[in-house]
Amino acid sequence: QRQQRIRNFSIVAHIDHGKSTLADRILELTDTVSKREMKDQLLDSMDLERERGITIKLNAVELHYRADDGQIYIFHLIDTPGHVDFSYEVSRSLAACEGAILVVDAAQGVEAQTVANVYLAIDDDLEIIPVINKIDLPSAQPEVVRQQIEDVIGIDAAGAVLASAKKGIGIKEILERIVHQVPAPDGDLEAPLKALIFDSIYDDYRGVVLSIRVVDGVVKPGDRIRLMNSQTEYEVTEVGVNSPKPLQRDYLMAGDVGYLTASIKDIKDTRVGDTVTSAVNPAANPLKGYREMNPMVFAGLYPTDNAKYNDLREALEKLKLNDAALEFEPETSQALGFGFRCGFLGLLHMDVVQERLEREFNMNLITTAPTVTYDVELAEGAHLKVANPSEMPDAARIKQINEPFVKATIMVPNDYVGAVMELCQRKRGKFITMNYLDDYRVNVIYQIPLAEIIYDFFDKLKSNTRGYASLDYELSASQPSDLVKIDILLNGEKIDALSFITHRQNAQQRGREITARLKAIIPRQNFEIPIQAAIGAKIIARTNIKAYRKDVTARIHTGDPDRRAKLLEKQKRGKKRMKAVGKVIVPQEAFMAVLKTD
């Protein structure tokens, strides 16, 4: 029976422990891709993923494996990202699987996201196969790591596979484990169709392509289907699997992981987490679906060319299909015109969205500095949610501002505990507890304002611990803080898109830092530009950008032609992300200047 030979599994790990490399080896060993077509990190299909060497999107492929028992098994492997910003992708993949390979680096050991991701898998009742990877490294300590997996995660690691994804050691053993340890799916072929949508993407020719896990029943081209949440109906045009190229199939049945198209043109009809059922013989209840993701940080996205506003809306709608956690709503800025306030799961997510909009949709964008959502209690008692600093009411109207905090779990060798605590204190953290995971690793737990985490906390954490600390965090309750809004004035004009919120204690210093930074970033123009930072009507810092003294274009003309071409080219590139704000030309970096702290 075919269903008995299906195995659906995912690979979970901390970032850089070797998931994508292991996926490559598995694709090779199962001859899914020929040697000729093989390239590193094959499943990271976006250019952005390859350039940055990280996995951003989940990715599902079908493989065929001839096991030692002589049978051919059908594997569906779902590769997942490791970075905390993308953990929603991980949880979505896991819901389509019966098992998970847990990859732990033999030199780094268990890290914060190893724990976070494996707990997602344990919560979903998946069978966990621990793999200790990179045993080829001279610094590998497989036995220490084995013990850590037991002590820190609390699962039996006696049988953990020792592997090197790079050298191809232990791969066959992992595949055999999948056959014997991961249960076959148990869906009912005779029951009405029920399939979980775990991802989607917009294709200009085929419309929306849904990634589905069929839980019960069978689906084939020509079937009438219904999306249970949106109550819309379609006729299936194609079903298939990715291997990793799309391969059409006659049908997908309970237990299968694949794709489905049905000429769905209206993007709003499809939602990740929805259930596909039969329109003729519908299932009684939808599948459990997913927890809604709440964005943690917000920023304004504006086209550099105001005429591109509608293009940006369309691009955001299409991108949201492939990025369920992205949220957006229209907003206007006096300085930047019409744009969108977008919600993201973190800064890396924001960065990725901006890059994808520029690459995949040809947009040219200005993004404003990311901010968190503040809960503002007004003097008259009402509460206001403020996700855009320029919308912060006047101080006189405010009784109290509550800001979001996270519970940050920092895993670190004990030599660096002092450095970590010092950093957390500096970032307005409140110490919660600390516990030893084993003889030398410590879990340090703090409550820290989310606003401090999203800026440069992670970079500082890494540099203060020589890369040894790892971080995981989850949102906890908001807490009152003494915060103020700082406005920035250019040429005497308040620029709403440059306003930011900071702790009163740091206000003076931040005001000075930012005016100085803006002075360095904003190019000189043919008039003097005063830059001021203000709290309400009170100026707390000021500086000036001097006017040009000479005509610099004249100098360009006298140069040799090569140099002149280069200069012009450079100017053209530089111009790409500039925006005229009043009389002043402001480059993109200016809007991010508030992010950096010294």
Q: Tell me if 53 contacts ligand GTP by CB under 6 A.
A: yes
Q: Tell me if 170 contacts ligand GTP by CB under 6 A.
A: no
Sign, Cα dihedral of 593, 594, 595, 598: positive
Tell me which stretch binds ligand GTP (CB under 6 A): 64-72, 162-170, 232-240, 460-468.
162-170
Of positions 50, 124, 144, 166, contacts ligand GTP by CB under 6 A: 166
**Least distance to ligand GTP, CB of residue 261, Å:** 28
Q: Tell me if 133 contacts ligand GTP by CB under 6 A.
A: yes
Subset of residues 212 to 251 that bind ligand GTP, contact rule: CB under 6 A: none
Q: DSSP code of 191? A: S
Q: Tell me if 130 contacts ligand GTP by CB under 6 A.
A: no
136 is in an annotated binding site: yes
**In the block, residue with structure tokens 């943690």:** 296
Q: Tell me if 17 contacts ligand GTP by CB under 6 A.
A: yes
| Cβ neighbours for 37, distance < 8 A, ≥ 6 positions apart | none
Q: Tell me if 137 contacts ligand GTP by CB under 6 A.
A: yes
| Cβ neighbours for 118, distance < 8 A, ≥ 6 positions apart | 12, 100, 102, 128, 153, 155
Of positions 12, 33, 42, 54, contacts ligand GTP by CB under 6 A: 54
- Both tokens of residue 75? 């594997």
Give the E-state strand segments of 229-353 in sequence order.
232-235, 238-242, 246-249, 252-253, 257-261, 275-278, 297-303, 327-333, 337-344
134 is in an annotated binding site: yes
Element (H, E) at 317: helix 309-322
Residues 96, 78: contact at Cβ < 8 Å? yes
Give the Cα separation of 386 and 396 in Å (integer). 16
Nearer to ligand GTP, 148 or 367 (CB): 148
Give the E-state strand segments of 279-397 in sequence order.
297-303, 327-333, 337-344, 365-367, 374-378, 383-386
20 is in an annotated binding site: yes
Nearer to ligand GTP, 137 or 432 (CB): 137
Q: Tell me if 349 contacts ligand GTP by CB under 6 A.
A: no
The DSSP-derived string for 512-558 is HHHHHHHHHHSPP-SS-EEEEEEETTEEEEEEEEPPP-S-HHHHHHH
78 is in an annotated binding site: no
Tell me which stretch binds ligand GTP (CB under 6 A): 19-27, 170-178, 386-394, 586-594.
19-27
Of positions 6, 18, 293, 303, contacts ligand GTP by CB under 6 A: 18
Nearer to ligand GTP, 44 or 403 (CB): 44
Give the Cα separation of 356 and 420 in Å (integer). 34
Of positions 6, 13, 264, 272, contacts ligand GTP by CB under 6 A: 13
Subset of residues 56 to 85 that bind ligand GTP, contact rule: CB under 6 A: 81-82
Tell me which stretch binds ligand GTP (CB under 6 A): 8-16, 268-276, 306-314, 544-552.
8-16
Q: Tell me if 20 contacts ligand GTP by CB under 6 A.
A: yes
Peptide bond into 587 cis (omega under 30): no
503 is in an annotated binding site: no
Q: 171, 57, 176, 48: which is closest to 103 by C-alpha? A: 171
What would the 3-class secondary structure string for 465-523 be?
CCCCCEEEEEEEEEEEECEEEEEEEECCEECHHHCEEEEHHHHHHHHHHHHHHHHHHCC
19 is in an annotated binding site: yes
Q: Tell me if 136 contacts ligand GTP by CB under 6 A.
A: yes
| Cβ neighbours for 559, distance < 8 A, ≥ 6 positions apart | 567
**Least distance to ligand GTP, CB of residue 192, Å:** 37
Nearer to ligand GTP, 129 or 451 (CB): 129
Give the Cα separation of 370 and 145 in Å (integer). 38
Nearer to ligand GTP, 315 or 348 (CB): 348
Amino acid in position 295: P
**Least distance to ligand GTP, CB of residue 459, Å:** 17
Tell me which stretch binds ligand GTP (CB under 6 A): 129-137, 329-337, 398-406, 469-477.
129-137
Give the annotated binding-site residues: 16-21, 133-136
The residue ranges that bind ligand GTP (CB under 6 A) are: 13, 15-21, 41, 53-55, 81-82, 133-134, 136-137, 164-166
Annotated binding site for GTP: 16-21, 133-136
